[in-house]
Amino acid sequence: MNKQTNPIIILTLVFVLGFIYAYFKFLFIPQYYELKDISAQLSQRQIYLERLQENLENVAALRQDVMELTVAETNLKDRIPAELDYPNIMMTVYTMAKNNGLNPKNISYESIAQQGQTVTLGLSFTCTGSRDNIYTLAEQFLKGDEYLFVLDSISVSGSPEESSATMILTAYALQN
């Protein structure tokens, strides 16, 4: 190599190294950090999208629950009578007891009470008969067709063949 080519090579080498330094300093490194930030934002957005998709599934499940509860409410409203009729309740209770082979003895009513959208009537019913028939009657009160009864308490005494029972019931109706 001669003396003229050395400065050209050195100058070219300095120029190439300067160009590489400038490329990394002003183009590559800023783009690298920007790409890193965008990747982090993208992963956050993906996590957010997954959460939204899970919530969308929850909304669908909640809508299904709302529909089921609406149907249950309608069925319950259809099951609850519009009013409480003392003679009709007495006939219903006595008829249910007779159909189960029981002897009705006494029925007494409490006063009508209002609870929100419903009206309640407490009643006490005494009958005699076999213990199995008494328990069958108690189950039928809970499945009542004409009135919605709730069995608050039952007291049974006597032998299995001839027992006496006192039942405390609550009848429900929708408030007009």
In a shared domain, residues 73 and 122: no
Containing structural domain, residue 163: 86-174
What pLDDT tens digit does each residue of the chain (176 aa) get?
A: 566 778 888 888 888 888 888 888 888 888 889 989 999 999 999 999 998 888 877 888 888 889 999 988 887 777 666 677 788 888 888 998 999 999 999 999 888 888 877 888 899 999 999 999 999 998 888 886 777 788 899 999 988 889 999 999 988 887 75
SS3 content of the chain, % helix, strand, coil (to 5): 55, 25, 15
Q: What is the pLDDT at residue 120?
A: 86
Q: What is the pLDDT at residue 68?
A: 92
Q: For 162, list phi and psi in degrees, rounded to 5.
A: -135, 95
In a shared domain, residues 75 and 91: no
Q: What does the alpha-carbon distance between residue 171 and residue 153 come to, in Å, rounded to a whole number? A: 13
Q: What is the number of structural domains in the chain? A: 2
Q: Which of 79, 112, 144 is the last residue of a domain?
A: 79
Strands (E) located in the chain = 103-115, 118-129, 148-158, 163-174
SS3 134: helix
Q: Which of 21, 54, 79 is the last residue of a domain?
A: 79
In a shared domain, residues 73 and 96: no
Q: Which of 79, 113, 148 is the last residue of a domain?
A: 79
Q: What does the alpha-carbon distance between residue 130 and residue 141 come to, in Å, rounded to a whole number? A: 17
Q: What is the pLDDT at residue 1?
A: 57
